[in-house]
Amino acid sequence: MTAPTIDLEKLTLARGGHASPSEGVCVMEAVTLLAGEKFGYRPTCVSPVIGAYLRNWNDALEEEPRQRLKPYALKVIGTNTGAADDEVRAWMATDWLVRVQTPTWLELAGLKDEAAEVRALPALTSSEIAVACQATIDKARTKARAKAGLAANAAWGAASAAAWAAARAAARAAARAAAWDAAWDAVWDAARDAAGAAAWDAAWDAARAAAYEAARSALRPTEQQLMDSAFDLLDRMIAVGQVEDRMTDAFRSARH
């Protein structure tokens, strides 16, 4: 590996891809500079799942929180440890979306029973488990849609939406290589609808029909909580494949 050609402390991560470092650098382009690879946003030394997560999160985050990704330009080097590890990472992302992101919004919208039921689901580590959990997720979606009405698809907080996009991209990244069945789409759609509808309803409840910025202000603590949790997810995905990683062993054993 060549010596680093950038100073991460002085670097400001930018959105999107770039033709050269002089035009700007996203987090994955920073990885190629640090790892001595050809400049670009798909370094071969990084897990495809983690790469998808970081590319999407880099572009979805606002400028200030995006800078929290800078240390990961070093942390993710060497994470391309094979398809088996990436499948574990992908299910970690799926599990986070369903059992962390979704119930957080459900609870905020006042759907506490549904939030508790979704949180109590077993860890989603395989398509078989996902299929078995489908009825609970669908129930939450139905309740959230009914509560939010026609506004179920409205935009919600930037930080939480960014975390959702990143985790979804990470989980999807391994889908082409793994023989996951059609239950995937149903699980994704149900969880996304439930969280989106509940988030919209929570925003308007919190703002009491005031301006959108007031709603955003009321939602910021929840957004921050989810963003911190998404960083924890990223750390755990990076740990997959390391000898001391116990989370990987737990996810693997849960699948058998």
> In the prediction, which pLDDT does 143 show?
81
Q: Minimal CA–CA distance to 27: which of 181, 119, 50, 49?
A: 50
Condensed to tens digits (0 to 9), the pLDDT of residues 184-239 reads: 455 555 666 666 666 656 655 555 445 545 555 666 777 788 888 888 989 999 99
Residue that terminates a domain, selected from 13, 48, 75: 75
Condensed to tens digits (0 to 9), the pLDDT of residues 20-53 reads: 888 889 999 999 999 999 999 899 999 988 998 8
Per-residue pLDDT for 175 more than 60?
A: no
Tell whether 184 and 107 lie within a shared domain.
Answer: yes
Condensed to tens digits (0 to 9), the pLDDT of residues 119-165 reads: 999 998 887 888 788 888 888 878 877 766 433 333 344 445 555 56
> In the prediction, which pLDDT does 153 show?
35
Tell whether 122 and 171 lie within a shared domain.
Answer: yes
Tell whether 26 and 114 lie within a shared domain.
Answer: no
Buried/exposed code over 57-76 (b: 16+ C-beta within 10 A; e: otherwise): bbbbbeeebbeebbebbeeb
Around Cβ 169, how many Cβ atoms within 10 Å?
Answer: 19
> In the prediction, which pLDDT does 186 show?
52
Tell whether 197 and 226 lie within a shared domain.
Answer: yes
Domain ranges, residue 211: 83-254
Tell whether 131 and 184 lie within a shared domain.
Answer: yes
C-alpha to C-alpha distance for 46 and 75, rounded to whole angstroms: 10
Tell whether 55 and 97 lie within a shared domain.
Answer: no
Tell whether 88 and 145 lie within a shared domain.
Answer: yes
Tell whether 219 and 247 lie within a shared domain.
Answer: yes
Cα end-to-end distance, the chain, whole Å: 38
Tell whether 87 and 196 lie within a shared domain.
Answer: yes
> In the prediction, which pLDDT does 43 show?
94
- Answer for the pair 91, 171: CB distance below 8 angstroms, yes or no: yes
Tell whether 52 and 140 lie within a shared domain.
Answer: no
- Answer for the pair 76, 46: CB distance below 8 angstroms, yes or no: yes
Tell whether 25 and 126 lie within a shared domain.
Answer: no
CA atoms lying within 13 Å on the CB side of residue 240: 29
Work out the pLDDT band at 77, boundaries 50, 70, 90: very high
Tell whether 41 and 107 lie within a shared domain.
Answer: no
